[in-house]
A and B are shown apart, each in its own frame.
Chain A
């Protein structure tokens, strides 16, 4: 059993932070997490980020952010796996502490999206795919999602409105998250009346990209400050798996194989079945991703995850709550930071501090972060001791 526990968490509101820079966002999240951890000093910092080198013209975030947060002299570097960067950074922090070579690891996910506009941003986002064989044809993450959605509807005869369940649920949960980009519920008529963005995908089927930073401190239980004021949350399972990068190279693009495999591995390490969790923070980068992730994890047969949503099983009061603090759709998608936000939100649930969205007596949560259409899948099981 792993002895890696979460000592502290911090996050900035997700938004269009025109007034805040990449470094300012990251430093604020780091400060919040360090305060929450009772002043523990990390020996290593792992940064999750995707776009800084293209949008902010800034590489080596490890050196920049360690220096600007007063942590000169430590080990620090970036982990990049597109939308899964935050999850990869968290896994690296986990591995470092689990190895015994690092006592306290700081994980920070940061994304500064709103420093460019238009085609430059679309081109930067398109780096998630195979540049030579997908993106050169004008493919983008939105195109990939729309193509998957089209095929899913065709293969499984899924009614178009079924995809609305995910954004409706996400927005309903985002209302009570003060850090969420959208703290406002949406009505079914608004979803149904929305224009197609990339047919059959509409504006509400894609999570909004945004700025934000979140941070987590990891350590071993014995090293927690004497008066750690919260229930202790342990990382009891951790796994990262890749799929073939280009959608066209996969035997079944709807299978999200890496997503399924990483959940199996993380749950096996934790000694549980996926059905043994109290909630599942999945990656609703696009509505269709939520359904494909649920099916890959085995919660529903292929083509039927939307019925779980329609039956209310994924809501806060359902048997498998998802997106409990608004998910990517309502909290916002600060791409390389998203995986760390998911962990922060899961820890709030497990500490019993999720406010109006608290799942009663939540003891165990599953968190999954995806890069591209599950080209990289990073899954963690978090458990209250």
Chain B
């Protein structure tokens, strides 16, 4: 069981809370307290909009432990509107083919079972296609 480690990350997993660097104004996700762009301390929380587009993606068939029940699944690098990229699964795809550049938005979903026998479920962000006409 790894409850504390998932609990520590709840702001990131549920609300995409990162940081803004007060010196160079870079937006950071995940938060890391030291700005990778300018090297200064960055501790100002910043909530990302959850909107972005697909940088690249693939479909996984041979899953690592905890994901056996959800294969096949699509993993993407999503370029957020505010700059950073995140790794996330895509969801709610329906029959829509995934393409690089496709606009997506964050939703909260079940990510995986962490310890099947204890019934621990990890929730967090996934991204789904922006619905046509939603903006």
Q: What 0/1 readout, one digit per residue, does chain A (228-249) give for beta carbons within 8 Å of chain B?
A: 0000000000000000101111
Task: Report A127-171 CB contacts with B as 1/0, cut-off 8 Å.
Answer: 000001111111110110011101100100000000000000000
Which residue of chain B has the shortest Cβ distance to A248 in the bound complex? B85
Give the secondary structure class of B's interface: strand
Rounded to whole Å, the gap between the CB of B108 and the closest CB of chain A is: 13
Q: For window 107-128 of chain A, which residues contact chain B by CB distance below 8 Å?
A: 119-120, 122-123, 125-126
Scoring B67, B68, B77 by chain A CB atoms within 10 A of each residue's CB, the highest score goes to: B77
Query: B64 contacts A150, CB within 8 Å?
Result: no
Question: Provided the pairs A137-B75, A138-B89, A198-B59 are in contact, do residues A122 and B64 lie with their beta carbons within 8 angstroms?
Answer: yes
Residues in B1-52 with C-beta less than 8 Å from chain A: 5, 9, 12, 30, 36
Interface residue B81 (Cβ < 8 Å from any Cβ of A): no
| Chain B residues with a Cβ closer than 8 Å to the other chain, count | 35
The reply to whether A249 and B85 contact each other, CB–CB distance below 8 Å, is yes
Residues of A with C-beta under 8 A to B75: 137-139, 143, 147
Does residue B121 face the partner (Cβ distance < 8 Å to A)? no
A78 to B63, CA, bound (A): 29
A321: min CB distance to chain B, Å: 31
Are A140 and B60 CB-contacts (below 8 A) given A132-B30, A249-B36, A249-B85? yes
Contact A198/B58 with A133-B87, A151-B100, A244-B36 known, Cβ cut-off 8 Å:
yes
- Closest residue to B58 on the A side, CB-wise? A146
Q: Give the contacting residue for B68; candidates A119, A126, A249; CB below 8 A.
A: A119
Query: Within the assembled complex, what's the spacing in Å between the Cα atoms of A234 and B125?
Result: 51
Min CB distance B117 to A, Å, is 15
A248 touches B65 (CB 8 A): no
How far, in whole Å, are A152 and B21 apart by their CA atoms in the complex?
Answer: 31
Q: Are A138 and B60 in contact, with the CB atoms below 8 A?
A: yes
Interface size on A, residues (CB 8 A): 34
B58 touches A138 (CB 8 A): no
Instruction: Please report the C-alpha to C-alpha distance between residue A126 and residue B124 in the assembled complex, in whole angstroms.
Output: 19
Q: How far is the CA of A168 from the CA of B3 in the complex (A)?
A: 46
CB-based contact B100/A138 at 8 Å:
no
Per-position contact with B for A274-300: 1 when CB-CB < 8 Å, else 0? Answer: 000000000000000000000000000
A197 interface hit (Cβ, 8 Å):
yes
The residue of chain B having its C-beta at the shortest distance from the C-beta of A140 within the complex is B64
Contact A147 B57 (CB under 8 A): yes
Q: Which of A123, A150, A197 contacts B65 (CB 8 A)?
A: A123
Interface residues of A in 338-379 (CB under 8 A from B): none
A243–B48 alpha-carbon span in the complex (Å): 25
Assembled-state Cα–Cα distance A255/B65 (Å): 30
CB distance from A306 to the nearest CB of B (A): 18
Contact assessment for A136 and B112 in the assembled complex, using a CB-CB cutoff below 8 Å: yes
Let me know if A201 is at the binding interface, CB within 8 A.
yes
Q: Does A67 contact B (CB under 8 A)?
A: no
B124 lies within 8 A of A136 (CB) = yes
Min Cβ gap A123→B in Å is 4
A119 proximity list for chain B (CB < 8 A):
63-68
A200–B73 alpha-carbon span in the complex (Å):
14
- The answer to whether A247 touches B77, judged by C-beta atoms less than 8 angstroms apart, is yes
B55 contacts A151, C-beta separation under 8 Å: yes
Q: What chain B residues lie within 8 Å of A146 (beta carbons)?
A: 58
Interface membership of A253, Cβ < 8 A: yes
Contact among A122, A133, A154 for B86, CB-based, below 8 A: A133
Complex Cα distance, B30 from A253, in Å, reads: 17
Q: A133-B86, A137-B87, A138-B73 are contacts. A122–B65 as well, Cβ < 8 Å? A: yes
Closest to B5 in A: A132
5 A-B residue pairs with Cβ-Cβ distance under 8 Å, sorted by A, are A132-B9, A136-B111, A143-B58, A147-B57, A151-B100
List chain A positions with a Cβ less than 8 A from chain B.
Answer: 119-120, 122-123, 125-126, 132-140, 142-143, 146-148, 150-151, 154, 197-201, 244, 246-249, 253
Top-4 shortest CB links A-B: A146-B58, A122-B64, A151-B56, A248-B85
